[in-house]
Structure 1
Amino acid sequence: MKVERKNWQTGLAILIIMAAVLIMLSLQLATGDVIIGYDTFFHFNRIYDTAMQFQTHHFNYFMSNFGYRQSGQIVNALYGPYMAYLLGFLLFLTKSWFWFEITTAFGILTIAGLGAYGLFRKLRINQGLAVAGAIIYLSQNFITYWITSSAFLDWGAMLLPFALMVAIDLLAGSAAKVHFTLAIVVGLLLETHVLSAVITVLMLLPFFIVGWIRSLTKWAYFKKVAANVILACLLSANYFAAFYNVFINNRLIPPFRVTNLADGAVQFSTTNLAQSGLGIVLMVIISLQGLFIIFNFKRSQLNLMLTTVGFLFYLISSTLFPWNQIGKILPDFQDFLQFPSRFLAFAGLLLLTGFLLSLNQFIANWSQSLLKNSSYALVGLLAVMALMLGVKNIKIQLDNNWQMTAHAPQVGVYGAHLFPNGFYQSGISNQRLKQDFHAANLVTPLNDVIRATTDYLPNTTKQATVSGLQDQYRKQITDNNRNYHKQVLANGSMQLTWKNNQAARVVQIPMVAYRDTQVRLNGKELHETQTDEHLSPDQYRRSDIGAIQVRAATGKNRMVVSYQAPWYFTGALFVSLLAWILTLGLELLRKIRKNRLV
């Protein structure tokens, strides 16, 4: 009977969480509109690129042969490669940007909600509180921001409950509780969003240190953790090899640089549409948990640990931290971190978990039903508020996209530095963009955009930044594409053909080259020269943003551009894939054996 009751309760909990997910998606399902946010076109380009690789069977791990104007720009190899292929396969199956958004939003919300529920039940938090807590977590802006703004940090936040389960196992200080799940979680994060992986490791570190201090078998505990670190590196060998290959041989243009880190820090506000908004629900939870831990810090060491680490992460995510001074000392944070609010997901889950532990403890100790019911009512109210605020944020973004003006939606933070060209091609209206997102050809809306994605382009200048970056990209790549015919070959190379009406003149090719890029013109391999002097027929040079320049022959010309990955990358990719197959297989067997013993 106990097993049946437990299964029934778990099934009901899952149904309630799934209902909350469907409520969250109801407005977008009703309108049938795609939601556009800050990072939509950046991520849609890289996902479209991998989707087309599946459709054509013409694969290239490094070069963007379909996305980013078919420019050969390296993005996916440096930014969540396996997740890019997974999402590309999903787009290939759905063949629709709308259903791709709905499917991925459903996946993120469901995994985040069920992961949080599993975390709370692992800590023996009762069913009612665990379900309400899961709804609160999946409704926060650091989860829904993928829906409203296509922010990829949310994919890391989706996996965060599983990382916190690993942290709790580390805290026990027992080698027997350290499993391959540590390596799997970190490996998944590295293949999804590197910054999330870095912050997750920072979160795990204090739990490991306290666990090691507590451990009665320190050497065995340390060896088990070290083995997981090595395994995580093997699982992500493809990423590290590609990162090393590209960054060691090239100077790249960094991601969008913010001017003021403090502007992206969390503010103590009741709304949470923006990534930097805390929201009324988290405000209440953080305040109540702070009061509880002040007066009851001796009652639970686990709760104290979760709350202490949570408040540290909240501090560094917020305007309370001196981010302006940090930005001056460490300017690379302005393009690597960009927004300190990215720490909020970690603070939010840690403090939410501590809050639920506190209420669970009170409910267990209180004899009066009124106090117990009041606690349930409080958490239930917070869950409903969180869900309604999440739905409201989605409605606001939908309205901002399609209801506020006839102009195509400008995408927030990029508006100021796009003058005078703007974000979209001339003549792209609100209605036209909406239609293009429902076009059979998935690249149509991506080509409506003028703004270039310049992340990870080569920087061949001796300056820290390239002057006139957007203007150069538009002239050399976007507008120049119309003069060339591009075709992706079966081996993943890009072939360009064009007709040259002038004798032996230097032409600008709408493709970028890196150190390991191979360029062949009319069957002859060209070699790069870095001088501005006369360009011979067997040479090519690169512009400030890495675009290829050659001396073309009169008449029809044919160029083939490919990327020659080093031998160690091929080996690393094989090791990574093999490590994933073996690790997941062994972990599955361990789970099966464990369930048989129960």
Structure 2
Amino acid sequence: MINKKVEGILKKIWPYLVFIVVAILLVSYQIQKHTTIVVADSYFHFSRFYDAAEQIKNHNFSYFQMNYSFNQTGRIINGFYGPFFAYLMGGLLLLVKNWFNFQIITTFLISLISSVGMYLCSKKVTNNTIISTLVGIIYMSQVKLWSSGSTFTSISSMLVPFVLLCGIRMVTNHEKPINWIQLALIMGIVSQIHVLSIVLFIILLLPFFIGGLVKAKSKSRMWLDLLFAVLITFLLTANIWFSLCYAKLGENLFNPISTSMTGGAISLRRFTILTIIVYLIQLVYVIIHWKKSFLNSFITSLAVVFGVLSTKIFPWRLIQQHFPILKETFQYPRRISVLFIPLILIALGITANEIVKKDNREISVGVIVLLSLVFLSSYNRTIRLNSFYTVNTFMLNTEENHRQIAAVRSKNPGELFVKKIITEPDYLPKYKNISSRKAIRVYSKTLKDSNSRFKHKVLSKGRLEISWKGKSLKEITLPLVIYKRSQLILNGKQVGNVHKNAVGMPRVKQLVGKNVAILSFKTTFLFKMLITIAILSWIIISVSGISFTIKERRNGKSEVL
């Protein structure tokens, strides 16, 4: 009896054990070398999380103004970029103590969640555990590891399978195509993490919605459920939309640095040769069996569209000439690959399942072996890339690199940012019409010229104090960033219409002797009300969702998302 129970449990959980093992293996070399990879966007996002961690640690919260990181200039970053997620990651950083532990744990969790989401997607359309498990580990090995640059492409890849589950439901469940609680929760989570992903995921869901609407037994109910989902999503993300409206209407802000969109597209080198061959086989199979499975043909078609859009095949050079703003806002067409990869893998899983169902043992074994080889080739590529970053992140034998190596292992995460200027212009106020590249040069030069003179102190109620000694009565530029709702007090007096440089750093007249400046950011009553609504909505919807799931399970009506 006990053995049967154990066997039953193992039968249910073995795919998840496989995902755990593969996720550990992906970071095993980095664990062995005890290296923290600090490249690409690492400093930017680590600074965000560190600031949130310090706010939690000191019980001194400032939703907009960053007082502990970004060179303690008072910049606004988290307020415009995944604030709740930043606090979640900040809380985790406090628990794990240093950047090495933080990176290993977050990379493991992101990889694990990605594979679980993909497994659930594949299981929903194939009901084949072995094929779905292989699809899950292939996906885990094909998406970029969070530790290899800490870009939010990894986060988007983690989220998209759960969004795709909603899309699949739209075209397969004709009775109730939309579970509005499910859709609202997932889109709410995405919004609190990465707003750009919301745009991509809405584009992803649009064809699923249209396809589902055509097949829905009650079109009015589908529209009504969509309306409920949208309304609940707005309640869950009320703080996000206020921040975005303020950023666009209340401030004139610099965009990220302009890039070549053609250079930001993916190339065939992104995938192994075997992977490319298998994807082409999938395309040929669907063309030959076009009418056999609507879902397979539909998903494969979408994969082809998003695949082309993410590559240099699409005329991105022409697009950026007509819409140059995209070079700063969207930047990299390869971001669209986060839609292509899960779609093609889901379609591949459907095809594999169709072939296996023919009860030809030799062909079935061949399909499983081929999928296993795709995984191994992708896994090998990802391991080699992660090993490269592990070995080369602090390769040069310089004093700066030795300092950084010590900093990422230190129990004081703030050591990583000592003497480090974060050179991203994102969300700096724009007081002069110059390029983002020039803006960051102005910002960096001001900090290099003056920052060592100033002492920083974080005061209660999210205020930031800097003090210095003036040798003469003259104008100086303070290493602070002022927005329209910022308030500056200099030597006990509020400064009104202060002169600012191109990126909002104020020029003030110092006194001889000790000078003190205090920077704060004044939030509106409307914002306080909206963030309260967002927090209460999360509590109510989460409790309702859990209660509904328990009730459905008791009634035997539970469905995988």
TM-score bracket for this pair, using the shorter chain length:
over 0.9
Q: State how far apart, in whole Å, the 2-side matches of 1:60 and 1:51 are.
A: 12
What secondary structure sits across from 2:413 in the alignment? coil
Give, in angstroms, the shift of residue 22 of structure 1.
0.9
Give, in angstroms, the shift of residue 282 of structure 1.
3.6
Q: State how far apart, in whole Å, the 1-side matches of 2:447 and 2:419 are.
A: 14
Q: State how far apart, in whole Å, the 2-side matches of 1:241 and 1:442 are.
A: 31
Residue deviations 1:405-450 (CA, integer Å, cap 9, x gap): 435xxxxxxxxxxxxxxxxxxx52x333212322333222222434
Contact 1:170 1:178 in 2 (8 A): yes
The amino acid that maps onto 1:280 is I
The amino acid that maps onto 1:321 is F
Q: State how far apart, in whole Å, the 2-side matches of 1:560 and 1:482 are.
A: 18
Distance 1:219 1:244, change over 3 A: same
Distance 1:363 1:175, change over 3 A: closer
The amino acid that maps onto 1:313 is F
The amino acid that maps onto 1:151 is T
Match of 1:548 in 2: 506
Q: 1:57 aligns with which of 49, 56, 59?
A: 59
Q: State how far apart, in whole Å, the 2-side matches of 1:585 and 1:188 are.
A: 15
Q: 2:92 aligns with which of 90, 93, 105?
A: 90
What secondary structure sits across from 2:36 in the alignment? coil
What secondary structure sits across from 1:36 in the alignment? coil
Match of 2:441 in 1: 471
Q: 1:453 aligns with which of 409, 424, 428?
A: 424
Match of 1:265 in 2: 265
Give, in angstroms, the shift of residue 75 of structure 1.
0.6
Match of 2:78 in 1: 76
Match of 1:509 in 2: 478
Q: State how far apart, in whole Å, the 1-side matches of 2:471 and 2:434 are.
A: 38
Query: What does 1:144-183 correspond to in 2, within 5 Å?
Result: 144=145, 146-172=146-172, 174=174, 176-179=176-179, 180-183=181-184
Match of 1:411 in 2: none
Contact 1:71 1:477 in 2 (8 A): no
Give, in angstroms, the shift of residue 87 of structure 1.
0.6
Give, in angstroms, the shift of residue 233 of structure 1.
1.5
- Aligned-pair Cα RMSD in Å: 1.8
Deviates most, 69-78 or 227-236: 227-236
What secondary structure sits across from 1:578 in the alignment? helix
What secondary structure sits across from 1:444 in the alignment? helix
Residue deviations 1:284-331 (CA, integer Å, cap 9, x gap): 332111011010011111111111111111010011100000001111
Distance 1:560 1:395, change over 3 A: same
Residue deviations 1:322-359 (CA, integer Å, cap 9, x gap): 00000011111111111101111211100100011001
What secondary structure sits across from 2:27 in the alignment? helix
Give, in angstroms, the shift of residue 247 of structure 1.
2.6
Contact 2:255 2:436 in 1 (8 A): no
Match of 2:40 in 1: 38
Give, in angstroms, the shift of residue 37 of structure 1.
1.8
Query: What does 1:106-117 correspond to in 2, within 5 Å?
Result: 106-117=108-119
Contact 1:80 1:192 in 2 (8 A): yes
What secondary structure sits across from 2:147 in the alignment? helix
Match of 2:361 in 1: 369
Residue deviations 1:128-175 (CA, integer Å, cap 9, x gap): 1111111100111x341x211111121111011111110011123646
What secondary structure sits across from 1:491 in the alignment? helix
Match of 1:399 in 2: 391
Q: 1:311 aligns with which of 304, 322, 334?
A: 304
Contact 2:138 2:375 in 1 (8 A): yes
What secondary structure sits across from 1:87 in the alignment? helix
Residue deviations 1:35-82 (CA, integer Å, cap 9, x gap): 122111111111111111111111101011011000111111111111
Match of 2:490 in 1: 521
Distance 1:262 1:512, change over 3 A: same
The amino acid that maps onto 1:287 is L
Match of 1:358 in 2: 351
The amino acid that maps onto 2:240 is Y
Match of 1:128 in 2: 130
* Residue segments in structure 2 that go unaligned for 5+ positions in a row: 557-561
What secondary structure sits across from 1:263 in the alignment? coil
Q: State how far apart, in whole Å, the 1-side matches of 2:60 and 2:451 are.
A: 21
Match of 2:215 in 1: 214
Give, in angstroms, the shift of residue 452 of structure 1.
2.2
Residues matched between the structures, number: 553
Q: State how far apart, in whole Å, the 1-side matches of 2:25 and 2:173 are.
A: 41
Contact 2:107 2:147 in 1 (8 A): yes
Give, in angstroms, the shift of residue 177 of structure 1.
4.1
Q: How high is the TM-score relative to the length of structure 1?
A: 0.89
Contact 1:285 1:352 in 2 (8 A): no
Q: How high is the TM-score relative to the length of structure 2?
A: 0.95
Distance 1:247 1:13, change over 3 A: same
What secondary structure sits across from 2:357 in the alignment? helix
Query: What does 1:189-338 correspond to in 2, within 5 Å?
Result: 189-258=190-259, 260-269=260-269, 277-338=270-331
What secondary structure sits across from 2:460 in the alignment? coil
Contact 2:128 2:353 in 1 (8 A): yes
Q: State how far apart, in whole Å, the 1-side matches of 2:168 and 2:111 are.
A: 23
The amino acid that maps onto 2:379 is L
Match of 1:432 in 2: 403
User: Does residue 1:580 correspond to 2:538, yes or no?
Assistant: yes
Contact 2:431 2:502 in 1 (8 A): yes
What secondary structure sits across from 2:414 in the alignment? coil
